[in-house]
Amino acid sequence: GNSVTQMEGPVTLSEEAFLTINCTYTATGYPSLFWYVQYPGEGLQLLLKATKADDKGSNKGFEATYRKETTSFHLEKGSVQVSDSAVYFCALREAGTALIFGKGTTLSVSS
Amino acid sequence: KAGVTQTPRYLIKTRGQQVTLSCSPISGHRSVSWYQQTPGQGLQFLFEYFSETQRNKGNFPGRFSGRQFSNSRSEMNVSTLELGDSALYLCASSAGQGGNQPQHFGDGTRLSIL
């Protein structure tokens, strides 16, 4: 079946550091890929998405590129802020099926 | 545009009781999904409703059930509560069931079982 694997956290960075959170997936078809972010005490917010190979999703300085050849969708940000501290989830969805999530990666950014 | 609204935000129950959680999707969204989030198991899919019909179901016991109304609002019911049902229950809505349709989440209902 389909699955998503994320790098284990927590990831601890200083403000303005470069961020990469790795995400790889297994899918039988052609899924769309998503990154969600969850702040303490809140639900998940859609951060960005990509619907086909080589698409790049971007939002709020975060980027991720849908790489079919490596089945990856790594999240990157050039300069993180304290306010980016949260849990990040990679997810995939095929038509007619539910979202499948990775286990989440906790990011902690210190000033 | 108002987001996904879940009520109540917090709930405390005891073992053996039953509970009903409510979800109002974004206006115009016809698909509603429910997820359970726990520290140990992460985010697990419960079920999805579209146009009042259950379209997908996760691997949960029959104690977990749901329904969707004609206005797309959805409820989830858990009967004979167990300690292990303590979790954050998240509702998400999307415009359709297409794979490229992002799901938008509410802030969840935190259910604690004593």
What pLDDT digit, counting tens, does each position of A69-80 carry? Answer: 999 999 999 999
In this predicted structure, what is the pLDDT of residue B1? 63
Give the closest of B48, B56, B100 to A32, CB-based: B100
Q: Are B58 and B44 in contact (CB under 8 A)?
A: yes
**B42 Rama sector, left if φ>0, alpha if ψ -120 to 50, beta otherwise:** left
Q: Using the predicted structure, report yes or no on whether residue A89 has a pLDDT greater than 90.
A: yes
| Best mutation target, A5, A8, A44, to test chain B (most B CBs within 10 A) | A44
Residue A3 at interface with chain B, using a CB cutoff of 8 Å: no
Q: Best residue in B100, B101, B103 to probe A by mutation, most A CBs within 10 Å?
A: B100
The neighbour count for residue B97, using CB atoms within 10 Å, is 19
Question: In chain B, which residues have pLDDT < 70?
Answer: 1
Collect all residues from B whose CB is shorter than 8 A from any CB in A.
Answer: 4, 6, 33, 35, 42-43, 45, 48, 55-56, 58, 90, 92, 97-108
Residues of chain B with C-beta less than 8 angstroms from the C-beta of A103: 42
Cβ proximity of A5 and A24 under 8 Å: yes
Give the per-residue pLDDT at B96: 79
Interval A31-64: pLDDT, tens: 999 999 999 888 999 999 999 999 999 999 999 9
Q: Is the pLDDT of residue A6 over 90?
A: yes
Q: Does A69 touch chain B (CB under 8 A)?
A: no
Map residue A35 onto helix, strand or coil.
Answer: strand
| Per-residue model confidence (pLDDT) at position B100 | 80
CA distance B71 to B74: 9
The A residues from 16 to 35 touching B (CB cutoff 8 Å) are: 30-32, 34
- Count Cβ neighbours within 10 Å for each residue of B58-86 and write b for 16 or more, e otherwise: eebeeebbbebeeebbbbbebeebeeebb
pLDDT tens track for B35-47: 999 998 999 999 9
